[in-house]
Structure 1
């Protein structure tokens, strides 16, 4: 009973930190602070995934969300201004769309089984197949590894390709910007500067 209360307290603390960080991201106008807060948000999410016993997802969130995404955002910042322009007008349309989608999502979860319930459809149909297949077909003792590497192999490959493509794109953009800066410097040099 005591450890259950500790787990609930840790989960509530992490969710509170996530909410505070999200509000900080929304309110920040400085792009560097936003990029850093996004990395912090990903690290807190990874900690939350660990408390939910989803260590593989936590590793992915820490590596991709806090690591690669933060580096890509910082790289993209070299091509933009350091701070966001202040919005002059509040648009009510996007707010209404967000509220409508949020209400639809909440309505869709009303009749779902409780979290971790053995009555969920996945536990009745998919999970037994994965457990038996991991042991009999793939012969990998770690079920999570067998799912990520075999059953979801193409999905994992696609995620890796997306991350690789994004990294290469940022690398090309940064290289192009540096070449443009060098060309601008050469154009502004006077003949006396070269001597």
Structure 2
């Protein structure tokens, strides 16, 4: 396959389309002040991310993103909305520039840190020259899986994956306890009307 065919292959167009949709959904989340809409857009973002991972042949990561990002996280955020108002509070003047400076400084630091990273696909990189090379050489003969990443996570690092699953489960239980699910106070919703009345009373004082 020539370089021209590689650049203009259907997979490349699919990846570009998914990345474009991810960008548009992220912008919509930033501009929305309706919390329910933000939660739904967050679920859509996770599903698009899962589709992008499938396009990269990382099916295991896509499954995790779809289950945790679009599934469990969406349910937990919807449960959290029962204890708060539906719309975001008005912005506090003067905080936006400080937040923007913090984001730009963090982004610049992360970009600067990538300078010392090895080139993408470098066979002499530490990740590829040691244990990674053994995974590549032995996976085909030891584990009947076409995807090396899936084989590593499900077999070679099976206990590590099980530990990560336990961490996610524990985090979910902790969030449910914080939300008061099943308790006497669980499910009490702060209505938008009560919040508006409280805000009006504060302005009157």
- The TM-score with structure 1 as length reference comes to 0.77
CA gap of 1:71–1:110, structure 2 versus 1, over 3 A, is same
Higher helix share: 1
Residues 177, 79 of structure 1: alpha-carbon distance in 2 compared, 3 angstrom cutoff: farther
Greater RCO structure (CA 8 Å; 6+ sep):
2
Alignment gaps of 5+ in structure 1: 182-195
Aligned residues: 179
**Aligned 1:23-102 pairs, distance under 5 A:** 23-91=27-95, 92-102=97-107
Deviation at 1:69, TM superposition (A): 0.9
**Distance (whole Å) between structure 1 residues aligned to residue 187 and residue 115 of structure 2:** 55
Please say if 1:176 is aligned against 2:176.
no
Describe how 1:15-26 pairs up with structure 2 within 5 A: 15-26=19-30
Describe the shift of the 1:178–1:140 C-alpha distance in structure 2 as closer, same or farther (beyond 3 A): same
After superposing on structure 2, the runs of 4+ consecutive aligned residues of structure 1 that deviate more than 6 Å are none
Q: Once the 2 structures are TM-superposed, how far is the Cα of residue 135 of structure 1 from its aligned partner?
A: 6.2
- Taking the aligned partners of 2:113 and 2:172, their CA distance within structure 1 comes to 36
- Stretches of structure 2 lacking an aligned partner (at least 5 in a row): 189-205
Cα distance, 1:110–1:78 mapped onto 2, change above 3 Å: same
Whole-Å Cα distance in 2 between the matches of residues 15 and 31 of structure 1?
24
For residues 15-38 of structure 1, what are the alpha-carbon distances to aligned partners after superposition, in whole Å with 9 as ceiling and x for unaligned? Answer: 111111111111111111111000
Query: What CA distance in whole angstroms lies between the structure 1 residues aligned with 2:15 and 2:137?
Result: 32
1:11 counterpart residue number: 15
Deviation, structure 1 residue 103:
0.9
Counterpart pick for 1:152 among 134, 144, 157 = 157
1:123 equivalent in alignment to 2:124:
no
